[in-house]
């Protein structure tokens, strides 16, 4: 069977495994903090240890919905990750 992403040919019993890991497979949609309601957005911020994501989400939120509770959570997490708290 032929991979729908890269065109390589694999047997029927491994094609699904390959397609799940194929380097040509389109990337998942990047999660946007503005797509979430405030409570799940805050929970996600609290669970994230990637400061680059926190900074990106803070910029997105500040330019988008501008929810104070979400911005406060993101700023608190950013300070925590920077070692200020």
- pLDDT by residue, tens only, the chain of 85 residues: 998 889 999 998 888 888 888 888 776 556 788 888 999 999 999 999 999 999 999 999 999 899 999 999 999 999 999 986 5
- Euclidean distance between CA atoms 69 and 1, whole angstroms: 51
| Residues facing residue 32 across a β-bridge | none
Statement to judge: residues 24 and 40 lie in one domain: no
- In tens, the pLDDT along 59-81 reads 999 998 999 999 999 999 999 99
- Euclidean distance between CA atoms 5 and 13, whole angstroms: 17
- Euclidean distance between CA atoms 29 and 79, whole angstroms: 27
Statement to judge: residues 39 and 76 lie in one domain: yes
Statement to judge: residues 41 and 74 lie in one domain: yes
pLDDT value for 25: 79
Statement to judge: residues 58 and 40 lie in one domain: yes
- Euclidean distance between CA atoms 51 and 29, whole angstroms: 19
If DSSP codes are grouped into helix, strand and coil, which group holds residue 6? coil
When divided into structural domains, the chain yields a total of 2
DSSP code string of 13-47: TTHHHHHHH-TTSPPPPPP-GGGS-HHHHHHHHHH
Statement to judge: residues 45 and 10 lie in one domain: no
The pTM of this model reads: 0.64
Statement to judge: residues 36 and 64 lie in one domain: yes
Statement to judge: residues 57 and 76 lie in one domain: yes
Statement to judge: residues 70 and 50 lie in one domain: yes
- What range does the domain containing 9 cover? 1-28
């Amino acid at each position: 069977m032929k991979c729908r992403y890269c065109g390589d040919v694999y047997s029927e019993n491994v094609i699904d495994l390959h397609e799940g890991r194929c380097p040509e497979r389109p990337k998942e949609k990047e999660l946007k903090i503005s797509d979430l309601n405030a409570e799940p957005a805050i929970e996600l911020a609290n669970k994230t240890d990637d400061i680059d994501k926190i900074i990106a989400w803070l910029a997105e939120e500040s330019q988008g919905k501008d929810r104070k509770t979400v911005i406060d959570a993101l700023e608190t997490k950013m300070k925590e990750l920077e070692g200020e708290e």
